[in-house]
Amino acid sequence: MKILVVEDEPAVAQTLEILLRSYSYAVDVAADGETGLQMADAFAYDLLLLDVLLPKLDGVSVCQSLRAKGLQTPILLLTGQGEERKKAIALNAGADDYVVKPFNAEELIARVQALLRRSSSNSQPILQWGRLTIDPSSRKVAYDTQLLSTTPKEYAILELFLRNPHKPFSAKAILDNVWTSLESPGEEAIRVHIKELRKKLTAISAPKDLIKTKHGEGYQLNPLYASTSTPPAVNQLTPPQIAELHAVNEELRETLEKLRTVQAELNQKHEEVTVQGVQS
């Protein structure tokens, strides 16, 4: 799920980004209300986290503008201590909830999750690619009926793929979407995570190439498995197919034997005719 953070204090914005990403949320950050409003208009977000006091356009005005346009995305406002009047104004402007700064990390995450659950109750949050499914509200991954245990980064990579199933992502693009600028682990980390994801998926009967490497472009979900009925792997036949092949081979063998017999008879007749011609 993707969250837009609009916060002008760099340290607070950085803290929020790291905190939210640690819970597998994708995060965009804007440093002023005007930019935040433009981003909320241009891109689809699952939740907006706005500071009340922002340069260029305050959080309450951003909230009012978005609600006036009919945007129903949950909005969580950050307010300072003792700003009771602003809290009431914010809620009346269409905000869904607020958190007081300095905030408690656990409380903020609990409020974020509560708003996302409330929002997802009116829509179908499940992401699916063939037999692979992700529930963004609970961050559960399953292949058929088997749950897949993932780390926060592995989950975020899979969600990125399922939200963009036809798009290949380079290692750098995955880093930009899943890791914060402070982490920067390097592209080798992506290869390690992809390898581990493939291993875990294969362990619960998913195809080895469910995550496909597209040469020169990156990684993406394999189009072969977009349908719920996964085709058998290349060169891997089912028992009924093997039995059918044996039956066909037996028929071909019998037909070949008959042809050989006919050929022998024809050769014999040809020799007899040749002998008779010589004698006459």
Domain residue ranges of the chain, discontinuous segments joined by +: 2-120, 127-225, 237-280
Q: Is 142 helix (H, G, I), strand (E, B) or coil?
A: strand
Q: Do 2-120 and 127-225 fold alike per CATH? A: no
Query: How does pLDDT run across 207-221, given as a tens digit for each residue?
Result: 989 999 988 899 999
For the stretch 208-258, pLDDT in tens is 899 999 888 999 999 988 876 545 444 556 667 677 777 777 787 788 888
Tell me the pLDDT tens digit for each residue of 160-204: 899 888 899 999 998 888 876 666 678 888 999 999 999 999 999
| pLDDT of the residue at 85 | 67
pLDDT reported for residue 245: 75
Count of C-beta atoms within a 10 Å radius of residue 95: 24
3-class DSSP assignment, residue 125: coil
SS3 249: helix
**So what's the pLDDT on residue 138?**
72
pLDDT given at position 234: 46
Determine how many CB atoms are found less than 10 A away from the CB of residue 140. 15
pLDDT value at 121 more than 60: no
Of the candidate CATH numbers 1.10.443.10, 3.40.1670.10, 1.10.3260.10, 1.10.10.10, the domain formed by 127-225 belongs to 1.10.10.10
**Structure confidence at residue 168 (pLDDT):** 92
Structure tokens at 64: 């009012």
Q: Residue 63 is inside which H or E element, if any?
A: helix 59-68
pLDDT, tens digit (0-9, with 9 covering 90-100), for 26-79: 889 999 989 999 888 888 888 999 988 889 988 888 888 888 887 888 899 888
Q: Is the previous residue joined to 102 through a cis bond, with omega within 30 degrees of 0?
A: yes
Superfamily of domain 2-120: Response regulator (3.40.50.2300)
Torsion of CA 15, 17, 18, 21, to 10 degrees: 150
